[in-house]
Chains A and B, each alone.
Chain A
């Protein structure tokens, strides 16, 4: 929700989404092409700086969003770095950190970090709506874009329903004990299933009532200075890629 909110309020909201996607793709390419972890880290830092300073995303919010994927990265990094030796006698297991594996882990982790910074740039600066309409423009199959549109919209409808149901349950001591909580949760899931069913009928009827009989079409937003922002994004992206392939 935080991400969603910022994507609508950041400084680069009105920049053409194509430019932002281009820059993010360049970022991912640069992070994947880079040879040494230090190079990748520099690229990640540049991408983060672009997001925080350029698009004026508060650093606190940025770190908060970054925290969850970082946790996964840390766990997978550790598993890559650790070597386990299994013995027949005591000590049964010996853990070690061979240098080669350390390097590999560092390389994989820094690359993932770089890719993540690039994608976070996109996520923080571009609302999903814009990305979907861009996909439509690129003639992405309508079944995919329609699904994305509906999922995205229903996500918020269901968050509201979950909020309402759980509030109603709590107000009648639904979550007072662990046993109650399990019971309430079960009821809520069942209720949600029924809601999904009913909502899908309602959505279908409402689409029909507005003369729809096939793929969903919407007006695509217009953006000023599309050409110049594309040019700026291409230049910055190329710079990142050059930085990556240049041997330091």
Chain B
């Protein structure tokens, strides 16, 4: 039997970045995203989440430190950049900034066309990815006639059409209603099930606790902690100190443990439903 060796798709080591105006972007950050895992990047506004993601895609180049792609230092040649960007899919926070072709189908075709794929392949990928985000019936529509949520889905389709190995989403839930958020989580889980590594930046600690395998905490351009999500009930104080808040389910679970209502042998609840199940379990 093979031992489970974890491999990092992307790793940043001691990366420093300053914006041209001198403001701090990243401050010696070291962070890694494991292959096949669902990771979240948590942090307050201005913690450097977006800057970090722009590094993962090779758009920004570290002033010092290095980027590793599958454990190999990245060399920033034109060819490597093209390959990196084809394999690392980046979904920006503002869909209006990402959609620049006027029609949906055209926009989704942009990435695969840049990859130099044959037209027939581009066509099939565009249809496939529009279908997977449920936007196929909007393929002919101009981008400006779509709602915010629809634009967001088109952005995701545009990245999916490149068949990335890792999908990075910058605050994908921002501006979406609850139903659409759930739909998006469903879609991301489906993608993850096909073997894509998914990384999400979020403010929402409850979502991170429920969904992720790994939780990375960013503050002032540094990664101050990387935890397994199931550890969070033990780390409530650290979370609270960092300002991102504590997951309500974990907090309640902790209280139930401390008051002796439930014992530690039961599975750790990750979602509200898990917790309700747990309470029902001890009641019976």
Contact = CB atoms under 8 A, between A and B. Distances in A.
Interface string A133-150: 100000000000000011
B57 interface: yes
In this complex, the interface size class of chain B, counting residues with CB under 8 Å from chain A, is 35 or more
B143 interface: yes
Contacts, number: 103
Interface string A30-68: 000000000000000000000000000000000000000
B190 to A, nearest CB: 22
Contact of A127 (B92, B99, B105, B142): B142
A203 interface: yes
A127 B98 CA distance: 21
Interface stretch (B119-127, B224-232, B242-250): B119-127
B275 interface: no
Interface stretch (A19-27, A79-87, A204-212, A233-241): A204-212
Contacts of A99: none
A218 B101 contact: yes
A202 interface: yes
Interface string A166-209: 00000000000000000000000000000000010011011111
Main secondary structure of the interface of B (DSSP, over half): helix
Contacts of A149: 100-102
A128 interface: yes
A138 B80 CA distance: 32
B102 A153 contact: yes
B120 to A, nearest CB: 11
Main secondary structure of the interface of A (DSSP, over half): helix
A8 interface: yes
Contacts of A199: 97
B21 to A, nearest CB: 12
A210 B110 contact: yes
Given A129-B102, A206-B92, A219 B126 contact: yes
A213 B103 contact: no
B180 to A, nearest CB: 20
Given A149-B101, A203-B100, A217-B110, A211 B82 contact: yes
B114 A212 contact: yes
B54 interface: yes
B144 interface: yes
A213 B110 CA distance: 12
A157 interface: yes
A49 B72 CA distance: 66
A199, A205, A206, A208 interface centre (most CB from chain B within 10 Å):
A206
Given A129-B102, A216-B110, A217-B110, A211 B115 contact: yes
Contact of B97 (A4, A202, A217, A218): A202
B113 A219 contact: yes
A152 interface: yes
A211 B101 contact: no
Nearest to A146: B100
A221 interface: yes
Contacts of B126: 219
Given A153-B143, A210-B159, A219 B115 contact: no
Nearest to B92: A206
A218 B99 contact: no
B36 interface: no
Interface of A: 4, 8, 127-129, 133, 149-150, 152-154, 156-157, 160, 199, 202-203, 205-213, 216-219, 221
> What 5 pairs between A and B have smallest CB-CB spacing?
A219-B109, A156-B144, A202-B97, A210-B111, A217-B113
5 contacts: A129-B142, A199-B97, A213-B82, A218-B113, A219-B106
